[in-house]
């Protein structure tokens, strides 16, 4: 029996055919057969489609307690758990295998320009290495070694210039693109940073400057240049902001579009110490004008699912933010359209294994980026 005619086509012709497909279609073709996968994974084809628009996905971080068993009193994670991502445009879940990594327990934490940054280790309790990879091209690189405590307590921040920051309350590690050594600085923060984000050339974080019995959240920032000089962070506040930080319970930050920051929390029904929340509010700060506006608030019928839980998690970026909570069993999605100026609230069902239901995640702009 003669081979399929497509096998006899020159590689350049095959590349031209596949290059007319969307990135989503190319990804599907990779799983059709070994021949397609090899053709699409070649360096020459990746170069050809490197300028294609990315897929804007929402990736899940693995739960804190992986499915594991005790063996000689050591905890082993499920070997090579995949990266679960949700595609809001097609409304479906996708799985990116991570079995090309030489670690049994990869834990993705951040992404930039199609590259995923993760902690890699052989067991749940073992020392972790910070690794950068592309799940589409199945390439990876282990970043310079750092101490094990950073993987337990540090927040990983990355930007489009390939700069990596691991931030804690007391110190920060900084790795510039192409560098082989981490630089360590004092972070000089007044308290443990909550939901730090990297916007342009500055890091922003919320810190609790209140008393042990009453929280008082404030917004702090520090440019990358000042961070490397161990300078004190700037407290961002204006008289016009009034009580913007007092109306939100357990606020957290999410990077917005362009030069904007989103601050999200439960909207307090009063200023009393243990006030209940009436909904979840999304505020937006324009860093050019330093003015806040309301970007959205969760509909009452959706908020009722979160009302009984003592805490919820927030992740996302740009114009999309996800919310999770214990026992809800699904994600709530805020999806804002810049074209219409309106936001849609909807549920994301059929969550993959998420432990206690508290999902954490990050934005993943999937693309066939070569890892150099």
pLDDT by residue for the chain (372 residues), tens digit each? 457 788 888 888 889 888 888 888 888 888 788 888 888 888 888 888 888 888 999 999 987 644 444 444 344 445 678 899 999 999 999 999 899 999 888 899 999 999 999 998 765 555 788 999 999 888 999 999 887 778 878 899 999 888 999 998 888 999 988 888 999 888 888 889 999 999 988 999 999 998 888 888 999 999 988 887 777 799 999 988 878 898 998 899 999 998 999 999 999 887 776 778 899 999 999 999 999 999 999 999 999 988 877 678 999 999 999 999 888 889 999 999 988 889 999 999 988 866 666 889 999 999 988 787
Mind listing the pLDDT tens digit for each residue in 284-332? 999 999 999 999 999 999 999 888 776 789 999 999 999 998 888 899 9
Residues 106 and 97 sit within 8 Å (Cβ to Cβ): no
Contact between 361 and 348 under an 8 Å Cβ cutoff? The reply is: no
CB-count exposure of residue 190 (10 Å: 0-12, 13-18, 19+):
middle
| DSSP letters for 257-274 | STTEEEEEEEEESSSSTT
Q: Is the pTM of this model over 0.75?
A: yes
Instruction: Give the model's pLDDT for residue 12.
Output: 87
Q: What is the pLDDT of residue 66?
A: 44
**What digits encode the pLDDT tens for the residues 53-80?**
889 999 999 876 444 444 443 444 456 7
**pLDDT score for 50:** 80
Buried b (16+ CB within 10 A) or exposed e, 329-360: ebbbbbbbeeeeeebebeebeebeebeebbbb
Of 264, 356, 366, 305, the closest CA to residue 57 belongs to 366
What pLDDT was estimated at residue 69? 41
C-alpha separations of 299 from 281, 302, 346 in Å: 10, 5, 10
Q: How far is CA 259 from CA 8, 105, 143, 199, 355, in A?
A: 50, 35, 29, 7, 35
């Amino acid at each position: 029996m003669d081979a399929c005619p497509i096998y006899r086509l020159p590689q350049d012709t095959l590349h031209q055919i596949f290059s007319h497909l969307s990135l989503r279609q190319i990804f599907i073709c990779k799983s059709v057969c070994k021949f397609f996968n090899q053709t699409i994974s070649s360096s020459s084809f990746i170069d050809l489609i490197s300028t294609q628009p990315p897929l804007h996905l929402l990736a899940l971080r693995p739960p804190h307690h992986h499915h594991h068993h005790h063996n000689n009193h050591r905890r082993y994670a499920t070997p090579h758990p995949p990266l679960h991502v949700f595609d809001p445009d097609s409304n479906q879940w996708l799985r990116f295998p991570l079995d090309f990594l030489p670690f049994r327990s990869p834990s993705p934490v951040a992404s930039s320009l199609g590259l995923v940054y993760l902690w890699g280790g052989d067991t749940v309790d073992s020392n972790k290495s910070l690794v950068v990879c592309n799940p589409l091209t199945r390439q990876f690189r282990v970043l310079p070694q750092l101490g094990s405590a950073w993987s337990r307590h540090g927040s990983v921040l990355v930007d489009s210039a390939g700069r990596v920051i691991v931030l804690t309350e007391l110190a920060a590690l900084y790795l510039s693109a192409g560098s082989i050594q981490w630089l360590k600085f004092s972070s000089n923060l007044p308290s443990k940073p909550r939901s730090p984000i990297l916007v342009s050339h500055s890091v922003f974080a919320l810190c609790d400057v209140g008393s042990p019995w009453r929280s008082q959240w404030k917004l702090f920032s520090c440019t990358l240049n000042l961070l490397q000089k161990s300078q004190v962070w700037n407290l961002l506040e204006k008289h016009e902001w009034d009580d913007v930080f007092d109306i939100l319970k357990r606020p957290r930050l999410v990077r917005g579009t362009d030069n904007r920051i989103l601050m999200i929390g439960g909207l307090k029904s009063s200023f009393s110490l243990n006030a209940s929340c009436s909904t979840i509010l999304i505020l937006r700060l324009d860093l050019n004008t330093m003015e806040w506006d309301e970007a959205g608030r969760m509909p009452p019928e959706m908020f009722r699912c979160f009302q009984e839980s003592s805490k919820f998690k927030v992740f996302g970026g740009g114009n999309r933010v996800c919310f999770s909570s214990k026992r809800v069993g699904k994600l709530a999605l805020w999806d804002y359209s810049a074209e219409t100026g309106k936001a849609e609230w909807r549920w994301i069902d059929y969550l993959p294994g998420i432990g206690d239901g508290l999902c954490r995640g990050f934005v993943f702009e999937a693309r066939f980026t070569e890892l150099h």
